[in-house]
Chain A
Amino acid sequence: MSKVTTLREAVAAHVKPGDTIFLSGAQHAEPTAAIHEIIRQRIDRLTLISVLTETVALLIGTGSLERVLTGWMIQDERSAALIRAKQMGKLPEFVEYSHFGISLALLAGQMGVPFLPALTQIGSDLMKYNPHLGTVRCPFTERQVGAVQAVTPDVGIIHVQRCDADGNAQKWGSLGVDREGINASRTVIVTTERIVDADVIRREPNLTVIPAFRVSAVVEAPFGAYPMHLAGCYREDVWNWRREIATPEAMEGYLQEFVYGLRDWSEYLEKREALKGADHLDGLLVKNVVLSDPVPSGY
C-alpha cells in the first residue's frame, strides 16, 4: 500500500505537540526538510533525541523543544539557537548521555526491553544528573554494571537515499544511531531523495534500514538533508549555512525568509538557488561517484 504523501500532511498527521521525536543523521543525512516543516507548523513542547545533528539548531532556536536527550550538543554562549531560546524563555532541558549511552537507550527501545547493561558512563558524573542512567548487579557474576533505560520515541524521522512507495527505506553511508533510533520509534516518517520501484529495494535488501510495515508515511524530498551531506548524492554546504544563523538576529531572519515565509521544501530549494546561484545545488552533487560491484542474489 502506497504511503506516499506530502511533508505537510505527514508532519500534521504524525507529529503532535509534546511528542518525543527521534531525528536521524549524525551530521550525515539529517532530515532538514522535515525539521523545516515541524517549525512551519509550530509544533512545540517536543522532546528531541538526536546525536551530533547540526540542523536541530533551528528547532532549539524556535523554542520548539522542551527537552533534549543527547550525547553532544553545543551549549555555550556562542550558540545563537540557545541564546534565542533563552530570550523566549524556552531553553530546553538537556539530558546528557555518552554516545554509547544514547545508542543503548534507543537499542533497548528497539528491543522492547526496559534497560540495557553497559560498561561505560559508570565512572562519570553523567550518572548524577541523568535519571535514565543507573547501575545494576549482574545476576550471574554479582558484579556491578551500568544500566541505561530504554527510550521509545513517539515518532522517528529519517532521511534516506531511496525508499519505495510502501516505505521500505534504504540508507547507506555512516549511520550514526539511525538503525536503533528509527526502529525504536513507534511511528516512522521517511523522507527520501527518490521514491523507487520495489524491485530496486529487493535487489539489495541488506540496505533496508526499516521495512514498510513499520513506516507510516513516505515523502519524496530531493536534497532533503541540505545543507548537510548525503552519501553518494551531494556534499554539504554547512559551513556557509552556519554563518546564516550565527546570531539570534540572523537566525530570526533566516527563519522568516526560508521557513515561515515559504510553502514547502521545493520552494525552499528554489529560494536557495535564487540566493546562491542557479547552479548551487548541482554544484553540490558528488562529482567522483564510486560505484559498488553488483551484489548478486537469487536461487
Chain B
Amino acid sequence: MNRESDALDYSDADQMVVSAARMIGDDDVCYVGVGLPMLACLLAKHVHAPNLTVMTENGVVRTGLFPLPRATDTLGMQTWADQLSGLFYVSCLGQSGFVSLGFLGAGQIDRFGNVNDTAAGDYLNPSHRWPGSGGGNDVASSCDRTVYILRQSRRRFPEKVDFITCPGYLDGKPGRREELGLRAVTGPAAVITNLGVYGFEQGELVLKSIHADAGVTLAQVKAEVGWDIKVAGDLEDTAPPTEQELRILREKVDPQRFWVGGRRSFAERTATED
C-alpha cells in the first residue's frame, strides 16, 4: 500500500523503518542486529541521534556514520570505527549493564515478547528453521530495553512460540526474568511492524498505534496476530514519516535500495527477517 505524504510516496514498510528509528535516542548505546534494525538505526543516526553509539556482534563500536552494511561484518562498518573488539567484549558490555538499547529482528514473537529465532514445531524435527540466536539471546537477556522490528503476519505472531530463543517476559508473571537470574529491569520494550507499534504492559504485548496514514486498519492488525491482541485505551494513529525522514532514508541511508518493502532486494541467504 502506498500513500501520498507531502511530496513523497511511502509504503507501510517505510513507516515501519521510520517508527523504529524514532525509538532510538541520541544518548543511547545500541547493540544492533544486521538487516532492518541496522537500517532503522542508521536512519536515526542521520536524522535525530547523531551521537548514538552503535555496537555490532562482531565487535564494532562506533559513533561515526557508516555505509549501510549488507552483512554482519563489512569493511565499511569496520573502517573509522571507535573500537574494534570481538563478540565476547560487546556481550560483556551488555551483561554488565552498559547497553541501553538492543535492536533486533525476529523470526516470531509471542504474546509475552518471547522471540523464536530457532525452530518452528518440534526442535528435533522442525517444520521451519531459522539460523538461531546469534547475539539475539544475549541482547534480549541483558540490554536495558530491547526493541524488535519485523514484518507482521499471523504466522510470525503466535500466542506462544514453540522455542524461546530470546526471553521476553516468559509466561508473563511478574518477576519471572529476575527469578531465572536475568539482569533486573531489562526486557522487550517495543515491537515495530509494518502495521503498527506495540509496547508492553505487565509483560503483555499491547498495540499502541496503527499505521493509519499508510492505509492500515485495526481489523488488519488483528487479522495478523495469533491471539486477541490487547489494544491500548489511547490507541493512536502512527505519526507518518516526514519528508525529511523519507528523503534521508532513500538518499543517504539506503541509496542503493538494498531494502524494498521491508525485504532484502539482494540475494542474501536467509536471515531472521525472512
List A residues at the B interface (Cβ < 8 Å).
Answer: 26-28, 51-52, 70-76, 78-79, 94, 96-101, 103-104, 107, 118-126, 128-129, 135, 143-146, 172-180, 229, 231, 235-236, 238-239, 242-243, 286, 290
B124, B182, B266 — most chain A CB neighbours (10 Å): B182
Q: Is the CB of A239 within 8 A of B270?
A: no
Please name 10 pairs of A and B residues whose Cβ atoms are closer than 8 Å in the assembled complex, sorted by A: A71-B134, A99-B135, A100-B87, A103-B88, A119-B182, A123-B182, A125-B163, A126-B137, A144-B181, A175-B59
Q: Select the stretch in B69-77, B191-199, B229-237 that faces chain A.
A: B69-77
Q: Which residues of B contact A99 (CB under 8 A)?
A: 57, 87, 91, 133-135, 137-138
> CB of B58 within 8 A of chain A?
yes
Q: Is the CB of A120 within 8 A of B269?
A: no
In the complex, number of A-B residue pairs with CB atoms less than 8 Å apart: 181
Q: Is the CB of B88 within 8 A of A177?
A: yes
Q: How near does chain A come to B117, taking the closest CB pair, in angstroms?
A: 9
Q: Is the CB of B59 within 8 A of A123?
A: no
Q: Select the stretch in B78-86, B220-228, B242-250 that faces chain A.
A: B78-86
Closest to A76 in B: B129
Cross-interface CB contact of A120 among B57, B124, B138, cutoff 8 Å:
B138
Report the separation of the CA atoms of residues A76 and B128 in the bound assembly, to the nearest whole angstrom.
7
Closest to B136 in A: A98
Q: How near does chain B come to A225, taking the closest CB pair, in angstroms?
A: 12
Q: Is the CB of B133 within 8 A of A124?
A: yes
Q: Which residues of B contact A73 (CB under 8 A)?
A: 131-132
Contacts A100-B138, A238-B71 supplied; 7 other A-B pairs, CB < 8 Å: A26-B87, A98-B137, A119-B183, A122-B141, A125-B164, A176-B58, A176-B86
Contacts A119-B183, A144-B180, A231-B78 given; does A52 touch B123 at CB 8 Å: no
Q: Which residues of A contact B71 (CB under 8 A)?
A: 27, 238
Report the separation of the CA atoms of residues A275 and B269 in the bound assembly, to the nearest whole angstrom.
24
Q: Is the CB of B130 within 8 A of A76?
A: yes
* Dominant SS among interface residues on chain A: loop
Q: Is the CB of B58 within 8 A of A125?
A: no
* Interface 1/0 per residue, B35-76 and A, CB below 8 Å: 000000000000000000000011110000000001111110
Closest to B166 in A: A124
Closest to A172 in B: B84
Contacts A100-B88, A120-B137 given; does A146 touch B181 at CB 8 Å: yes
B79, B118, B137, B142 — most chain A CB neighbours (10 Å): B137
Q: Is the CB of A100 within 8 A of B95?
A: yes
Interface positions, chain B 127-178, Cβ under 8 Å from A, are: 128-138, 141-142, 163-167, 170, 176-177
Contacts A121-B137, A125-B118, A176-B86 given; does A242 touch B58 at CB 8 Å: no
Report the separation of the CA atoms of residues A99 and B132 in the bound assembly, to the nearest whole angstrom.
10
Closest to B58 in A: A174
Q: How near does chain A come to B252, taking the closest CB pair, in angstroms?
A: 20
Q: Which residues of B contact A143 (CB under 8 A)?
A: 181
Cross-interface CB contact of A175 among B70, B85, B118, cutoff 8 Å:
B85
Report the separation of the CA atoms of residues A236 and B138 in the bound assembly, to the nearest whole angstrom.
28
Cross-interface CB contact of A107 among B57, B88, B137, B141, cutoff 8 Å:
B88
Q: Is the CB of A125 within 8 A of B86?
A: no
Q: Which residues of B contact A179 (CB under 8 A)?
A: 86, 88
Q: Which residues of A contact B86 (CB under 8 A)?
A: 103, 174-180
Q: Which residues of B contact A229 (CB under 8 A)?
A: 73-75
Q: Which residues of B contact A243 (CB under 8 A)?
A: 267
Report the separation of the CA atoms of residues A229 and B182 in the bound assembly, to the nearest whole angstrom.
36
* Interface 1/0 per residue, B90-111 and A, CB below 8 Å: 0100110000000000000000
Q: How near does chain A come to B6, taking the closest CB pair, in angstroms?
A: 35
Cross-interface CB contact of B141 among A27, A52, A123, A239, cutoff 8 Å:
A123
Q: Which residues of B contact A118 (CB under 8 A)?
A: 95
Q: Which residues of A contact B79 (CB under 8 A)?
A: 290
Q: Which residues of A contact B165 (CB under 8 A)?
A: 124-126
Q: Which residues of A contact B176 (CB under 8 A)?
A: 123
Q: How near does chain A come to B220, taking the closest CB pair, in angstroms?
A: 28
Q: Which 9 A-B pairs have the closest CB atoms?
A: A123-B167, A100-B91, A98-B137, A72-B134, A27-B73, A175-B86, A103-B88, A120-B141, A100-B138
Report the separation of the CA atoms of residues A290 and B78 in the bound assembly, to the nearest whole angstrom.
11
Q: Which residues of B contact A146 (CB under 8 A)?
A: 181
Contacts A103-B91, A122-B182, A135-B181 given; does A239 touch B132 at CB 8 Å: no
Report the separation of the CA atoms of residues A98 and B86 in the bound assembly, to the nearest whole angstrom.
14
Q: How near does chain A come to B178, taking the closest CB pair, in angstroms?
A: 10
Cross-interface CB contact of B75 among A51, A104, A178, A231, cutoff 8 Å:
A231
Q: Which residues of A contact B137 (CB under 8 A)?
A: 98-101, 120-121, 124, 126
Cross-interface CB contact of A290 among B80, B85, B167, cutoff 8 Å:
B80
Q: Is the CB of A28 within 8 A of B78?
A: yes
Q: How near does chain A come to B195, taking the closest CB pair, in angstroms?
A: 25
Q: Which residues of A contact B269 (CB under 8 A)?
A: 74, 78-79, 242
Closest to B97 in A: A119
Q: Is the CB of A175 within 8 A of B84?
A: yes
Report the separation of the CA atoms of residues A26 and B60 in the bound assembly, to the nearest whole angstrom.
12
Report the separation of the CA atoms of residues A38 and B60 in the bound assembly, to the nearest whole angstrom.
31
